[in-house]
Amino acid sequence: MSDLAAVFGIVGMVVKAIGLIAAGLLGLVLFVLLLLLLVPVRYKLRIACVPEEASSHAGAGGWQVKGWVSWLLHIVHIPVWQGPCGVEYKVRILGIPWKPSQKKKAEKRRKEPAQIQRQREEHKAVEAAPPEQEKEPEGDFKQKILLFCQRLGRIYDKLQSLIQGSRRLWTALAEGGQKAGRVKEFLQSETVCNAWGSAKECFGYLWRHSHPRRVRGDILLGTGDPCSTGELLGGLGIAYAFLGGGVRITPDFERQILCGYLELQGRLRLVHVVRMLWKLWSADAWKRFRKELDQLKEEL
């Protein structure tokens, strides 16, 4: 009995250890999932316009864009800036630059044997070579008549195929008019309007939780005409409701100029993105929209 009790004790310890390991792994997965959902992704964007005469370096004027995206106390940090070849970025994890593998095709071609590359070049040269001209057969008069008839037959076949193609095109245009009317009817239906309203509501929810929390800027603008500058300033006054009091716009009624900067900073939680997508997918309006869209595809 003592041996049996010892075996059961060992089995119980093993099961307990497996249960503890499984519980630990499950807790770790839940912890990482909560981090991904609840820890916000922070972003910052700065857009500046510097005149050429005001820049200290030659060629440093014009539009300048830079910013960054970070997550979890800058453990993941992605700076973004405008380089000579467009928008560039660099991924840093724990401060260590991480670059994805690139130019795989170039490396693969570099590893190819010289014989395969030579065959590929010969194949391209053969394709690029002009086609040889047909040589008229040399012979008597009957052969020339036969060749002439063959050419007439080819011309007749081409004309017949052209007529058939025109008929098919006309039929397609007629059917296309009916299809266009069906698509227009679908786009003007109540289902599309309800789906659009649901999409606006979902994206409005996402905007309320991800719009920039901090907006700063100092802009000097002028069109060279006092009248149009005043009209532009009045139109930009509407933007103050969204930008807040951190942006200062100074008009210049004498010069044509645009310079200054605009800085946006905010955060976004992944849980809001997931909730928005779930609301969008489970909405009755979008279910009807997907169903009618599938029916429209079958009809077309």
- For residues 97 and 113, the answer to whether their CB atoms sit within 8 Å is no
Spans of the chain, pLDDT less than 70: 1-2, 52-61, 99-146, 148-149, 166, 169, 172-176, 244, 300
d(CA 132, CA 63): 55
pLDDT value of position 153: 74
In angstroms, the first-to-last Cα distance of the chain is 78
Strand partners, 57: none
19 phi, psi to nearest 5 deg = -65, -40
Which residues, 6 or more positions from 61, have their beta carbon under 8 angstroms from its beta carbon?
50, 51, 52, 53, 54, 55
Strand partners, 214: 265
- For residues 210 and 274, the answer to whether their CB atoms sit within 8 Å is no
- For residues 92 and 77, the answer to whether their CB atoms sit within 8 Å is yes
Residue 37, classed as helix, strand or coil, is helix
pLDDT value of position 119: 62
Count the Cβ atoms, other than its own, within 10 Å of residue 289: 21
Annotate 73-141 with three-state secondary structure: CCCEEEEEEEECCEEEECEEECCEEECCCCCHHHHHHHHCCHHHHHHHHHHHHHHHCCCCCCCCCCCCH
Residues found in the chain:
300
pLDDT value of position 91: 93
95: left (phi over 0), alpha (psi -120 to 50) or beta: left
d(CA 124, CA 187): 48
pLDDT value of position 54: 56
61 phi, psi to nearest 5 deg = -80, 180
pLDDT value of position 134: 46
pLDDT value of position 58: 47
pLDDT value of position 62: 79
DSSP 252-298: -SSSEEEEEEEEEEEEE-HHHHHHHHHHHHH-HHHHHHHHHHHHHHH
Which residues, 6 or more positions from 198, have their beta carbon under 8 angstroms from its beta carbon?
280, 283, 285, 286
Amino acid at 116: I
